[in-house]
Structure 1
Amino acid sequence: MINLLVIDDEKEVGTFLSHLFSMKGYKVEVVNSSSEFFQLDLSRQSFQIAMIDLRLPDCDGLSLLQHLKKHQPHCKALIMTGYSTVKTAVEAIKLGASDYIEKPFDDINLLETQVEQLLSTSVPSSQAFIQSLANEAGLVVGKNHAMNKLIDATFKVSQKNVNVLIEGETGTGKEVLSRFIHLASPRSHESFIGVNCGAISESLLESELFGHEKGAFTGATQQRKGLFEIASNGTLFLDEIADASQAIQVKLLRVLETREFMRVGSVQTLRTNARVVAASNENLQQAVLQKKFREDLFYRLNVVHLEIPPLRDRKEDIPLLVNHLIQRNGYTSVNFTDGAYEKLQNYDWPGNIRELANVVTRTLTLTDDENTEITADEIILSAVAAPLKGKSSSEQTISIPKDPLEQWRETLVKEFEQSDKINLDDILLQVKQLESLIGRELVLQALQKTYGNRTEAARCLQISMRKLRYILNEKTNTTHT
């Protein structure tokens, strides 16, 4: 017989649930307060499923959930919540709850189905199934406790139609985790579409997200659907959401609040059912405090908050990650020695998994075809030092290259020594060339430091993306000259 525990301070709800599930053959125990709950002897009385109201007059439902899971970890928990506390219900899922349902129960059949699914062994929630989804998404879970806890929580919230905010340093795998969310959700058969909000201009991003009508602006030669329309029943991944302009943030807020939007140049209202997964390598809460990000949009996106640990905090997973990268590069017969792994694990990886992938790819590319064993001496780590302790990568100082300055100074001194005259126009031309050279070197250093992330490089140099592109184009012109 199935033992069901109901924890709800509303006696009418307890009576209703007791009657409903007793008729299905369950043995139902109803408690109306935390004091009644703590009188239960959980060491002798076991439950297969518990229905817990989050709001109790004398206790927080989350505390009861944690106490129950501590004594009976295999008991499935269904959280009962009002609409205004859905975010708290999602937090309950992270603490071990299996699912949640909103009160009042408008659909009794849905309630019965949820309970039956939780009790059914056919519900795909095994570690093997989660691992298969992770493999399909290209996600290496590894042995790290924090990472495994993150994946378990991510799998649970993937089943629910709620927005998700993923935060983590550059290169930790936020897009890969978003793909895992999509594959683990009921939307897995629909489209997964991603866009980097910091990689394109405001006007282009608006058109990309919402679409445009023919003639809406110069170059709009035909009607185009936006991503909210294309991914209407799927998942829309908004990467680097912190870089979205204030105008775009306002439009995103409206879509999330009303599920309605208009194409650029249109007055027709369209609807979308896209699930939004947003990602940021910045702390959005800090961005809100700094007035860089809208607070109301933050709360709309942050229904579920997931944070990916940096690679330096999960170094025990480096061998698994390296093996995955070796397989991905097609080098099935190549192995890394213990010394090679030790060298990789002694590095702090400021660029996280993206940097590790670059190092492994570079090492494999430079190795001899006959070499099947990679040693520590063959691994070339980044020339950029790991971030100083206590400072973020954006706080590091980029040093101006000394060689061009020293070379120019020596040339100028030599000219003064050899002649009483000097051509000022030539000197000014040299200064201009030196300016271009230093600008180019600084951009290249910034790109190396941010592992190719142009948005981060521009922010580090405190210049616009247009200026960064201009300097890079200048490099090409100088080379040809």
Structure 2
Amino acid sequence: MTNLLIVDDEKEIGHFLSHLFTAKGYNVKVVNSGKEFFSINLSLQKFHAAMIDLKLPDTDGLTLLQQIKKKQPRCKTIIMTGYSTIKTAVEAIKFGACDYIEKPFDDIDLLEKQIDDLLEDKDTNADEHIKHLANEVGLITGKNETMGKLLHTAYKVAQKNITVLIEGETGTGKEVLSRFIHHASPRSHESFIGVNCGAISEPLLESELFGHERGAFTGATQQRKGLFEIASKGTLFLDEIGEASRSIQVKLLRVLEAREFMPVGSEKILRTNTRLIAATNKHLFEAVQKKKFREDLYYRLNVVHLKVPPLRERKEDIPLLIDHILHRFPGIDISFSEDALRAILSYNWPGNVRELSNFITSIVALSDPTQNVITADDLMFSNLTSVPTPVKPQPHTITANGEHHLEHYLQNWTNHILSVFNGKEEIHLEKLLEEIKQLESKVGKAFIMKTLKEAGGNRNEAARRLKITIRKLRYLLNEKR
């Protein structure tokens, strides 16, 4: 028989839940305080599932959750919480709770389904579903524990119609995570719309979000719906929320508090049911302390707080990310040598996943169609000038960027040729002439990349400075290295 533990200080709720689940054939035990909970011998009495209220008169639910997960790690747990403690409930998920449900219980069928799903041991299926959804939106996670926990927490909160605030450095994948939340939510069949609050001026952003009436301002030749109306049943993603003006912040607060807004130039109040996800690359609480962001709006946005780790803190996922990026190029069969991967892993990636993606794209674009393996020496021709490559003095390799290393390469190559010329061994002339061609290619590319860097990446300007056509420049870049 299935054993279910219920911990709630409200005896009426305890009686109701006991009656509900006893009728379903469960063996239910109800306790009304932390003292009663600790009187249970968890070493002898096993529970398959536990429903724990977050607020108890003599303790808190998180303490009981940690205790039961320590004594009975296989016990499935659901946290019961009021709206005001949802943030703590999300923390409970990070501590190992399987889910949470809001009190009062408006949907008894949902409550029964949550318990039934837990006891049917759907965790394995859930893990597969999470991986499938993550791959669909391009959210790649591998061995990094922090990313794994983040993904599971995001999956849990996706099921709830609550606001989420995502923080993380530029390029970490905040929008990708928001898309994952949308696809994992009951709104997945509705629209997902994103807007960058820092990329649009205040008047245009107001019109974009709330819509406008015809004639509301110069150029408003017709009525236009705003994103809060268009995405009313879906998800609205507000990127760089910290860049929103004070005026926009006030209007956003109104939407979050009352779920209503007025289009620009209108006196008509419209309602919205959009699910809001906001993101920022700033520490938003610091902006609140500096009076640059409204405190009341911050707490409205920060119902659930998710932080995406920078790439330098999840380097073990880089090989998987590289494979994912390479799959964007059908027909391209390229891999990276061990030395190249070591060089890539030694770099800190200040631009995070976005920088890695641009780097791999650059490598693919500049590689010869017949080249299948990218070596550490090839990395010097990318835009990633800070990648340290292994220094192995060889006669025909350029070990890094810069004039010093080009000089070092030429000296090594000259010494190599002279040693062959002065040596007594047989000379393989064809091989020697091939090395001369490699010299021409390597030196030519070194000059091209130096000029491209000086020209800010502008190929037309680089071709002009080199006195060659842009077609010739592209041809030389695509020569075999």
TM-score (norm 2): 0.77
Residues 1:172 and 2:166 are matched in the alignment: no
Inter-partner Cα distance in structure 2 for 1:119 and 1:21: 12
Displacement after TM superposition at 1:383 (Å)? 5.8
Distance 1:124 1:342, change over 3 A: closer
Residues 1:2 and 2:2 are matched in the alignment: yes
Inter-partner Cα distance in structure 2 for 1:180 and 1:108: 28
Distance 1:124 1:366, change over 3 A: same
Q: Name 1:300's counterpart in structure 2.
A: 300
Which whole-Å deviations, capped at 9, do the CAs of 1:286-308 have from their partners, x for residues lacking one?
Answer: 11001111111111111110001
Q: Name 1:28's counterpart in structure 2.
A: 28
Q: Name 2:272's counterpart in structure 1.
A: 272
Inter-partner Cα distance in structure 2 for 1:191 and 1:106: 27
Residues 1:200 and 2:200 are matched in the alignment: yes
Displacement after TM superposition at 1:331 (Å)? 5.0
Which whole-Å deviations, capped at 9, do the CAs of 1:75-116 have from their partners, x for residues lacking one?
Answer: 222211223222222222232222222223344344323322
Inter-partner Cα distance in structure 2 for 1:299 and 1:87: 10
- Contact 1:78 1:97 (C-alpha < 8 Å) held by counterparts: yes
Which whole-Å deviations, capped at 9, do the CAs of 1:271-329 have from their partners, x for residues lacking one?
Answer: 11110010000000011001111111111111110001100011111111111111113
Q: Name 1:92's counterpart in structure 2.
A: 92
Q: Which structure is larger by alpha-carbon Rg, 1 or 2?
A: 2
Note the 1:14-53 alignment, pairs <5 A.
Answer: 14-53=14-53
Q: Name 2:347's counterpart in structure 1.
A: 347
Distance 1:298 1:331, change over 3 A: farther
Which whole-Å deviations, capped at 9, do the CAs of 1:376-399 have from their partners, x for residues lacking one?
Answer: 11124656769xxxxxxxxxxxxx
1:59 is paired with a residue whose SS is coil
Note the 1:139-150 alignment, pairs <5 A.
Answer: 139-150=139-150
Q: Name 2:61's counterpart in structure 1.
A: 61
Q: Name 1:419's counterpart in structure 2.
A: none
Inter-partner Cα distance in structure 1 for 2:173 and 2:103: 36
Inter-partner Cα distance in structure 2 for 1:268 and 1:326: 50
Which whole-Å deviations, capped at 9, do the CAs of 1:316-359 have from their partners, x for residues lacking one?
Answer: 11111111111113354111111111000000111111111111
Note the 1:214-225 alignment, pairs <5 A.
Answer: 214-225=214-225
- Contact 1:335 1:373 (C-alpha < 8 Å) held by counterparts: yes
- Contact 2:52 2:77 (C-alpha < 8 Å) held by counterparts: yes
Inter-partner Cα distance in structure 1 for 2:104 and 2:171: 43
Inter-partner Cα distance in structure 2 for 1:196 and 1:117: 38
What is the letter of the counterpart of residue 50 of structure 2? A
What is the letter of the counterpart of residue 237 of structure 2? F
- Contact 1:359 1:379 (C-alpha < 8 Å) held by counterparts: no
Inter-partner Cα distance in structure 1 for 2:150 and 2:41: 31
Inter-partner Cα distance in structure 1 for 2:34 and 2:369: 67
Q: Name 1:335's counterpart in structure 2.
A: 335
Inter-partner Cα distance in structure 2 for 1:302 and 1:125: 30
Inter-partner Cα distance in structure 2 for 1:358 and 1:7: 52
Displacement after TM superposition at 1:66 (Å)? 1.7
Residues 1:152 and 2:152 are matched in the alignment: yes
- Contact 1:91 1:304 (C-alpha < 8 Å) held by counterparts: no
What is the letter of the counterpart of residue 362 of structure 2? R
- Contact 2:359 2:384 (C-alpha < 8 Å) held by counterparts: no
1:328 is paired with a residue whose SS is coil
What is the letter of the counterpart of residue 176 of structure 2? V
Q: Name 2:326's counterpart in structure 1.
A: 326
Distance 1:203 1:111, change over 3 A: same
Note the 1:47-446 alignment, pairs <5 A.
Answer: 47-121=47-121, 125-330=125-330, 332-380=332-380, 382=383
- Contact 1:241 1:278 (C-alpha < 8 Å) held by counterparts: yes
Displacement after TM superposition at 1:248 (Å)? 0.4
Inter-partner Cα distance in structure 2 for 1:24 and 1:383: 62
Inter-partner Cα distance in structure 1 for 2:183 and 2:177: 10
2:327 is paired with a residue whose SS is helix
Distance 1:331 1:68, change over 3 A: farther
Distance 1:132 1:107, change over 3 A: closer
What is the letter of the counterpart of residue 379 of structure 1? L
The percent identity for this pair of structures is 65
- Contact 1:43 1:71 (C-alpha < 8 Å) held by counterparts: yes
Unmatched tracts of structure 1, length 5 or more: 387-443, 449-481
TM-score (norm 1): 0.77
Inter-partner Cα distance in structure 2 for 1:384 and 1:178: 32
Inter-partner Cα distance in structure 1 for 2:139 and 2:226: 28
- Contact 1:233 1:274 (C-alpha < 8 Å) held by counterparts: yes
- Contact 2:347 2:386 (C-alpha < 8 Å) held by counterparts: no
Inter-partner Cα distance in structure 2 for 1:320 and 1:151: 16
Displacement after TM superposition at 1:10 (Å)? 2.3
Distance 1:383 1:344, change over 3 A: closer
1:188 is paired with a residue whose SS is coil
CA RMSD of aligned residues (A): 2.0
Query: How many residue pairs end up in the alignment?
Result: 390
1:55 is paired with a residue whose SS is coil
Q: Name 1:408's counterpart in structure 2.
A: none
2:29 is paired with a residue whose SS is strand
Inter-partner Cα distance in structure 1 for 2:202 and 2:266: 18
Inter-partner Cα distance in structure 2 for 1:71 and 1:133: 33
Which whole-Å deviations, capped at 9, do the CAs of 1:31-62 have from their partners, x for residues lacking one?
Answer: 22222222323233222211101101111111
- Contact 2:194 2:239 (C-alpha < 8 Å) held by counterparts: yes
Inter-partner Cα distance in structure 1 for 2:284 and 2:10: 38
Distance 1:122 1:348, change over 3 A: closer
Inter-partner Cα distance in structure 1 for 2:105 and 2:150: 30
